Amino acid sequence: MLDHSQLPRVKVLAVTPLYLPFLGGIEVFVDALAQKLSPLSIDTVVITDSGKNESYSDVVRGTAVHRFPMSRAIMSRNAKEPLTVLQSVGKVLADVKPDIVHLHSATQAGVFFMDRLIQRMPRRPPLVITQHAMLAEADELAVTRRLLKEADIVTGVSAAVLDCAVGYSGRSGRSEMIFNGISAPEQPQAPRTMPKRHNLLCVGRMQHEKGFDLAIEALALVRSKGVDADLSLIGGGDEQPLFDRLARKLAISEHVHFLGPMTNANARKVMAETSILLMPSRLREGFGLVAAEAAFAGTPCIASRTGGLPEVVQEGETGYLIEEEDVEALADTIVSLLGDEPRWYRLSENARQRAPARFDLDRCIARYAELYQSLTGGSA
Amino acid sequence: MTTRFAVDPSNISHERLQDEVIIINVGSGAYFSGTGPTADMWTLVSQGATLDEAAGVLARTYSADEATVRQDLGGCVEHLLALGILSPAEGTVQAAAVLALPDLPRGEWAAPKFEEYSDMWDLLKYDPIHDVNETGWPYAAPIVRE
């Protein structure tokens, strides 16, 4: 048995768009990586955006985090601001002396600063990029293309994302698909029975791209077919009033419940009492974290056939896929599934039983530990 | 060559900090960044130096062949003119009284070349940070900064 305490510690500089206490898929995932890699003699230092006009450093759950106003500096259109941030990030890089730089997304403000700095280093540390989002070929993004091409290893959170990143950059180097790992719920989910009251759920930012308006329209159709169902929405965002107005216009506002932002633990409790999770996204979702969390909860999912969602939602096995914008197909699929309890149970059980293996956090972490090890000659 | 060059302050923001210079075309969102000879060239030309004057200073600073330096500068400035970062100065523009470069350690001369980041606004379009606050998306933050 390898005694990791005897190994030289390896420093990974993780560059993320944001970090805790901001919560998003990347932030939660990098925190889990940092926590789980530390006992394996791998230390993570985070460089991220402060989301404010100021720079500051803190320690979050044992991880050193250096925050800079990277995005705002770029948006300032004043050359002095990105230069000042560049100098500050450079000081951290010089202090940390990372063995590996890991960019969590090649499309974030931090990419500009890291690109400038690592180009100036006499010996660039190995570069890993984990791509979380689909890229649009029409976007030039020269720095993103170049870094994706030159990185020592590129990983994608789904095959769709990885294929997109490889095609976009024309890279020929090592590339791997690693599904995002997800922590199992505190209490393992027992087999479910279909909730007596039909309740549908959407989770995410209240924005047009998530397609929650399509879910509301589908609910109206579902109810018009005589199926008594409600829809709850978890999350915050600027477009909630639009969704609220749509529900009122369709005369179903008493059946649409805006639950607001929630902790991840609470959101997952709600998922575990839900009939069907809906993800009628217009975004080319890279992975579909919420769909994976729903699978742990034994909740079938109906999602758009876009991005990485068809890999997370197994058609006819753990849920169904519909074409983007197809409200009628969404409504028909909901009605059909709610009217077939044995089928609902089969999907629920498939999702519940397969999720721990498909989205296992420890296995995901182990894959990253192996990647790091391969780049540091085995010391990680 | 007696042409001096102008930088339109209404469209171009530029700044040098130690060995790094950043130039922003505010209208297009294109960023240009350079270090070493590239930063020094920019410093001189943006002070109003002609190519000959800049070549003289840089050749002395880098102990390099002045004709080579002059040729290298010509290529880079031509590119910046084509991009609209520089324009030929109109009227009687005077160079700074003393064409000064910051006192920094310097390596060998290399032809100036800016790294171009021509689509920073597109890059930020992918970055979720401008539409979040500390309530998170979609979840509220349960973690208090330690």
Tens-of-pLDDT digits for all 380 residues of chain A? 555 556 678 999 999 998 988 777 788 889 999 999 999 999 999 999 998 888 999 999 999 999 999 998 998 889 999 999 999 999 999 999 999 999 999 999 999 999 999 988 888 999 999 999 888 888 888 899 999 999 999 999 999 999 999 999 999 999 999 998 888 887 889 999 999 999 999 998 888 889 999 999 999 999 999 999 999 999 888 889 999 999 999 999 999 999 998 888 889 999 999 999 999 999 888 888 899 999 999 999 999 999 999 999 999 999 999 999 999 999 999 999 999 999 999 999 999 999 999 999 999 999 999 999 999 986 55
- Please, are residues A200 and A276 in contact by the beta-carbon 8 Å criterion? yes
Nearest C-alpha of chain B: how many angstroms from A191? 26
Residues in B closer than 8 angstroms to A113, CB to CB, are none
Q: Do domains A4-181+360-375 and A198-358 have the same CATH topology?
A: yes
Is residue B94 within 8 angstroms of chain A, CB to CB? no
Is residue B17 within 8 angstroms of chain A, CB to CB? yes
Is residue B140 within 8 angstroms of chain A, CB to CB? yes
* Interacting residues of B80 by C-beta distance below 8 A, sequence separation 6+: B86, B114
State the Rg of chain B over Cα.
20
Residues in A closer than 8 angstroms to B128, CB to CB, are 17-18, 24
Is residue B104 within 8 angstroms of chain A, CB to CB? no
Strand A56-60, strand A63-68: pairing: antiparallel
Residue type (1 letter), A267 = A
Residues in B closer than 8 angstroms to A86, CB to CB, are 17, 20, 22
Residue type (1 letter), A139 = D
Cα distance between residue A136 and residue A320, in whole Å: 25
- Nearest residue to A26 (alpha-carbon basis) of A112, A146, A129: A129
* Options 3.10.20.90, 3.40.50.2000, 3.50.50.60, 3.40.50.450; CATH of A4-181+360-375: 3.40.50.2000
3-state helix, strand, coil in chain A (%, to 5): 45, 20, 35
The ipTM is 0.82
Q: Quick check: helix, strand or coil at residue A74?
A: helix
C-beta atoms of A87 and B141 within 8 A: no
Full-model pTM: 0.87
The residues spanned by each domain of chain A are: 4-181+360-375, 198-358
Residues in B closer than 8 angstroms to A144, CB to CB, are 123
- In the beta sheet, which residues pair with residue A256? A231
C-beta atoms of B124 and A109 within 8 A: yes
Cα distance between residue A206 and residue A213, in whole Å: 9
| Residue ranges in B84-142 assigned as alpha helix (H) | 120-126
**What CATH class has A198-358?**
alpha beta
DSSP character for A106?
A: S
Nearest C-alpha of chain B: how many angstroms from A323? 23
Cα distance between residue A142 and residue A147, in whole Å: 9
Residues in B closer than 8 angstroms to A183, CB to CB, are none
